[in-house]
């Protein structure tokens, strides 16, 4: 099994054996804790870290799905290197007790999140509890256990305020003053908690040091996805994916999930390289993309066609759809006063996400973390569609081959 060269470099030392030959002591593997490790991104990160020689502790409400793996060698590695613990990260006492017996944790990857489903959109207490309170407890745990390195999974949406983003970077796109939805609000607050704590702890000699970075993936897709593609297919089966809102020319950055996992690994490795390196990186946020923006509606169409469904073809005026979305908000507000809720994700924010340009630069991650997407959009899409076809989401036995997702034409602000 491949090993992590950087992880192996830090803890070995030379010793002389009985024959007088100098041998190097085998280093102890690093141990990573992954919150949300049984989820979409979490599972890919677990697989990658195990491949790179880490021992992994998965903290999630769900236990890790070992039984879903059929490759014997992978199962063997996962079972020997992964320990899963079911615990609520928002309950600090339970979190501490569940991990009390773990002797060593080198780095924490905080991937756990309450996703912006329609049901969660109506349950703001849940999103606030998981995304904000859960993050507070993870930070507290790191500080009290003396864990020095934390990688937080944020979102590129924290800089999106409903206006076009065209080739912006972390400096030119500050945090949005008005969040596009409540989910994004919770991710922005959590990101600030992580980065502010990291920055202050690394400069305050009276506090334990916590070095941390936040990664902002854009448009994650891939195998194990429980939300984006299943929702897309559900709507296609209901005949609700016939329409394009607006011109249909808007593009955004999509990112294959294995590239996002790789970015997390590289961020942790960079932090652990040296204190000097950690001090240079801590408190920073990085956009993570495939570096290859594609048409928003073209990408949806490629997924649908690859699974045997027709792509969106008919255009609806943006102004009409946006107005209807605000009407839905008004109706939902009245329903809430009556103790009911529409539980819908058809909101003005969702309409803007589907119609605005959202292109961000990951040049900083390339420069500081050595990030370079290993899988292209086409490779990622092929792997994704193959996985979903094998699980019965295709409309027919032989789904048509997906066409290349069109790249955006040049646009101006």
What stretches of 68-165 show up as alpha helix (H) in DSSP? 72-81, 92-98, 118-121, 124-128, 134-145
The region that residue 343 occupies, defined by phi over 0 for left and psi between -120 and 50 for alpha, beta otherwise, is left
Both tokens of residue 43? 């599972």
Which residue in 295, 284, 301, 111 sits closest to 202, CA to CA? 284
Q: Choose the catalytic residue: 183, 185, 265, 309.
A: 183
Give the Å distances, CA to CA, from 219 to 177, 228, 266, 298.
Answer: 21, 9, 20, 14
- The answer to whether 156 and 216 are in contact (CB under 8 A) is yes
β-strands 243-245, 314-316 pairing: parallel
Strands 107-110 and 31-35: parallel
Q: Which residues pair with 251 in a beta bridge?
A: 295
Q: How far apart are CA 254 and CA 281, in angstroms?
A: 25
The H-assigned helical ranges of 169-273 are 182-203, 228-237, 257-273
- Start-to-end Cα distance in the chain: 49
Angle at 175 between CA 409 and CA 331, to 5 degrees: 85
Specify whether 183 is catalytic: yes
Instruction: Please choose, from the candidates 9, 26, 4, the residue with its C-alpha nearest in 3D space to the C-alpha of residue 17.
Output: 26
Residue 239 token pair? 């005949």
Distances (CA, A) of 141 to 92, 129, 238: 8, 16, 45
Active site (catalytic) residues: 183
């Amino acid at each position: 099994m491949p090993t992590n060269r950087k992880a192996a470099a830090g803890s070995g030392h030379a010793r002389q054996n009985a024959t007088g030959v100098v041998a190097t002591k085998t280093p102890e593997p690093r141990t990573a804790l992954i919150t949300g490790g049984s989820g979409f991104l979490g599972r890919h990160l677990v697989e990658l870290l195990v491949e790179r020689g880490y021992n992994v502790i998965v903290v999630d409400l769900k236990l890790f799905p070992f039984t879903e793996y059929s490759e014997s060698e992978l199962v063997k590695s996962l079972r020997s290197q992964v320990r899963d613990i079911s615990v609520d990260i928002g309950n600090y006492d339970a979190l501490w007790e569940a991990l009390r017996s773990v002797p060593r944790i080198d780095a924490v990857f905080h991937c756990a999140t309450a996703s912006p489903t329609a049901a969660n959109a109506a349950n703001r207490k849940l999103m606030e509890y998981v995304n904000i309170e859960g993050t507070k407890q993870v930070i507290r745990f790191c500080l009290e256990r003396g864990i020095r390195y934390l990688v937080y999974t944020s979102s590129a949406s924290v800089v999106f305020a409903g206006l076009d983003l065209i080739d912006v970077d972390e400096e030119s796109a500050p945090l949005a003053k008005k969040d596009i939805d409540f989910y994004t609000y919770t991710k922005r607050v959590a990101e600030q908690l992580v980065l502010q704590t990291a920055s202050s702890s690394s400069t305050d000699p009276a506090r334990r040091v916590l070095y941390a970075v936040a990664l902002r993936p854009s448009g994650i897709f891939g195998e194990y996805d429980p939300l984006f593609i299943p929702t897309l297919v559900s709507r296609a089966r209901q005949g609700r994916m016939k329409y394009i809102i607006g011109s249909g020319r808007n593009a955004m950055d999509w990112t294959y999930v294995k590239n996002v996992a790789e970015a997390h690994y590289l961020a942790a490795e960079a932090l652990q390289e040296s204190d000097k390196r950690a001090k240079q990186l801590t408190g920073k946020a990085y956009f993570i993309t495939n570096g290859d923006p594609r048409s928003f509606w073209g990408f949806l169409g490629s997924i649908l066609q690859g699974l045997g469904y027709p792509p969106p073809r008919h255009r609806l005026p943006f102004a009409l759809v946006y107005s209807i979305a605000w009407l839905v908000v008004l109706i939902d507000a009245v329903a809430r006063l009556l103790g009911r809720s529409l539980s819908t994700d058809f909101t003005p924010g969702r309409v803007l996400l589907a119609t605005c340009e959202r292109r961000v630069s990951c040049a900083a991650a390339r420069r500081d973390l050595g990030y370079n997407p290993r899988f292209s959009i086409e490779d990622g899409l092929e792997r994704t569609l193959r996985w979903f076809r094998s699980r019965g989401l295709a409309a027919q036995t032989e789904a048509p081959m997906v066409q290349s997702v069109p790249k955006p034409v040049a646009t101006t602000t």
